[in-house]
């Protein structure tokens, strides 16, 4: 089926016969939850405190399910993405300022992904970081070309394939790791062990939801399924969306938990796991070179997939807020420059990842608050407006994420550990 035929089919309002055909957008958005920026934090938590903070990742994933579901719901019900709705309701100056912060968030995200992919190439093939960053950028152009020419469905298949590789890369080590499943189950009970674990948990929770994934998911759902005013079809799409988000984030959450379990079983007390390179070296020393290579391949797939999705998100933000469309490949070439400059001048990659997290922390309220506001407005959502229980849950989730991101930002800027 051609891309044009698919668009005509979804716009015709004819429901697809199989639920599985409706899945996909959430798997693309879920790449944000298994990007290189999450690797060191999860491994460090497991190495330092073993299974104590398993519950943090479970809670974080539950929050992500709520947020990503509402983002896709907004796109499906209104036929508009979150950036488009914001752009329609803001004066020109407001749109420009809002776009500037959202663009910085997307750029910061992309910076982390390119650096993570470059580190993976250095780990696997001893390629210099600058050359590795360039290779990651060029490969991501190829992935984006699939979306531009082959349509979103084909791009979803490619990203889902990379997600499989990521899963194998980060979960594979569990096969040879002596995981204590009894202790892991005990780690599901919320508790702390001193102030240091409170700060680490704040960092893990506060960095969970990525702003660019919120902006993008509303676009992905709308672009994939088209615009429909038929309540029956919308209800079916929302049902499929619940499955899509649930399955995608179960996979992403399982990958993150697997990283923590791997570190808890094989790396307790090992120093240096607060950086990606150090974590890889520790895993290789503890579990052997094969597991080290598998981990490196997973990290590379993570960098390639997440930087492509991040560039896609940036294009969605720009077109929605500024009503300006730039060819995806041209945008990829332009946004690659900051990462290459940082890699070229020899900036510490881990420090660059920390700096990118600061920008993400600043941007998260700008995405979350409007999302909850719009999905709770009956004038916009009609019969699909958030019910009171969902509003309460959403507000609690947003407040928790915003507070934790502010705490993370404060700790980062003040240098507290």
10 Å Cβ neighbour count for 379?
A: 7
From 62-66, 142-146, 342-346, 410-414, the region with the lowest mean pLDDT: 410-414
The percent of residues above 90 in pLDDT, for the chain, comes to 39
At residue 343 the predicted structure's pLDDT band, cuts being 50, 70 and 90, is: confident
- Give the length of the chain: 417
Three-state SS letters, the chain: CCHHHHHHHHHCCCCCCCHHHHCCHHHHHHHHHHCHHHHHHHHHHHHHHCCCCHHHHHHHHHHHHHHHHHHHHHHHHHCCCHHHHHHHCCCHHHHHHHHHHHHHHHHHHHHHHHHHHHHHHHHHHCCCHHHHHHHHHHHHHHHHHHHHHHCHHHHHHHHHHHHHHHHHHHHHHHHHCCCCHHHHHHCCCCCCCCHHHHHHHHHHHHCCCCHHHHHHHHHHHHHHHCCCCCHHHHHHHHHHHHHHHHHHHHHHHHHHHHHHHHHHHHCCCCCCCCCHHHHHHHHHHHHCHHHHHHHHHHHHHHHHHHHHHHHHHHHHHHHHHHCCCCCHHHHHHHHHHHHHHHHHCCCCHHHHHHHHHHHHHHHHHHHHHHHHHHHCCHHHHHHHCCCHHHHHHHHHHHHHHHHHHHHHHHHHHHCCC
Section 397-408 average pLDDT: 79
Task: Examine the pLDDT at 8 and tell me if it is beyond 50.
Answer: no
Section 72-81 average pLDDT: 96
At residue 415 the predicted structure's pLDDT band, cuts being 50, 70 and 90, is: low
From 171-175, 191-195, 259-263, the region with the lowest mean pLDDT: 191-195
At residue 62 the predicted structure's pLDDT band, cuts being 50, 70 and 90, is: very high
From 125-134, 160-169, 303-312, 353-362, the region with the lowest mean pLDDT: 353-362
pLDDT at residue 416, rounded to an integer: 58
Task: Examine the pLDDT at 196 and tell me if it is beyond 80.
Answer: no
pLDDT at residue 298, rounded to an integer: 92
Cβ(273)–Cβ(53) under 8 Å?
no
User: How many angstroms separate the CA atoms of 375 and 394, rounded?
Assistant: 10
pLDDT at residue 10, rounded to an integer: 45
Section 384-404 average pLDDT: 89
Across the chain, mean pLDDT equals 85
At residue 206 the predicted structure's pLDDT band, cuts being 50, 70 and 90, is: low
Section 113-140 average pLDDT: 91
pLDDT at residue 16, rounded to an integer: 59
pLDDT at residue 181, rounded to an integer: 92
pLDDT at residue 7, rounded to an integer: 44
pLDDT at residue 4, rounded to an integer: 38
Architecture of domain 18-414: Up-down Bundle (1.20)
């Amino acid at each position: 089926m051609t891309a044009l035929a698919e668009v005509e089919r979804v716009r015709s309002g004819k429901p697809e016969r199989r639920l599985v055909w409706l899945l996909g957008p959430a798997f693309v958005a879920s790449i944000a939850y298994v990007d290189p920026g999450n690797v060191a934090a999860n491994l460090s938590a497991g190495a330092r405190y073993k299974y104590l903070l398993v519950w943090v990742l479970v809670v974080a994933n539950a929050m992500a399910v709520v947020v990503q579901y509402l983002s896709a719901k907004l796109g499906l019900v209104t036929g508009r993405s979150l950036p488009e709705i914001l752009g329609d309701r803001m004066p020109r100056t407001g749109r420009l300022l809002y776009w500037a912060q959202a663009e910085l968030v997307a750029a910061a995200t992309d910076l982390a992904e390119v650096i993570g992919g470059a580190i993976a190439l250095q780990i696997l093939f001893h390629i210099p970081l600058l050359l590795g960053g360039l290779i990651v950028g060029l490969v991501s152009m190829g992935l984006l070309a699939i979306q531009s020419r082959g349509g979103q469905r084909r791009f979803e298949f490619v990203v889902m394939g990379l997600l499989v590789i990521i899963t194998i890369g980060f979960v594979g080590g569990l096969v040879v790791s002596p995981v204590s499943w009894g202790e892991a189950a005990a780690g599901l009970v919320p508790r702390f062990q001193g102030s240091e674990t409170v700060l680490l948990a704040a960092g893990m929770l506060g960095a969970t939801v990525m702003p660019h994934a919120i902006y993008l998911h509303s676009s992905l759902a709308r672009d994939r399924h088209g615009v429909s005013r038929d309540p029956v079809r919308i209800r079916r799409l929302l049902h499929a969306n619940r499955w899509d988000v649930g399955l995608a984030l179960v996979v992403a959450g399982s990958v993150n938990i697997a990283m923590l379990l791997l570190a808890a079983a094989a790396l307790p007390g090992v120093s240096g796991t607060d950086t990606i390179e150090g974590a890889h070296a520790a895993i290789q020393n503890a579990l052997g070179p094969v597991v080290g290579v598998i981990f490196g391949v997973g990290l590379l797939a993570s960098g390639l997939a997440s930087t492509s999705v991040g560039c896609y998100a940036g294009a969605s933000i720009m077109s929605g807020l500024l009503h300006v469309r730039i060819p995806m490949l041209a945008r990829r070439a332009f946004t690659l420059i900051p990462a290459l400059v940082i890699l070229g001048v020899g900036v510490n990659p881990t420090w660059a990842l920390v700096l990118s997290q600061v920008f993400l922390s600043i941007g998260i309220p700008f995405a979350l608050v409007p999302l909850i506001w719009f999905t709770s407005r009956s004038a916009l959502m009609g019969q699909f407006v958030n019910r009171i229980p969902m509003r309460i849950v959403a507000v609690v989730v947003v407040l928790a994420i915003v507070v934790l991101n502010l705490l993370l930002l404060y700790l980062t800027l003040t240098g507290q550990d």
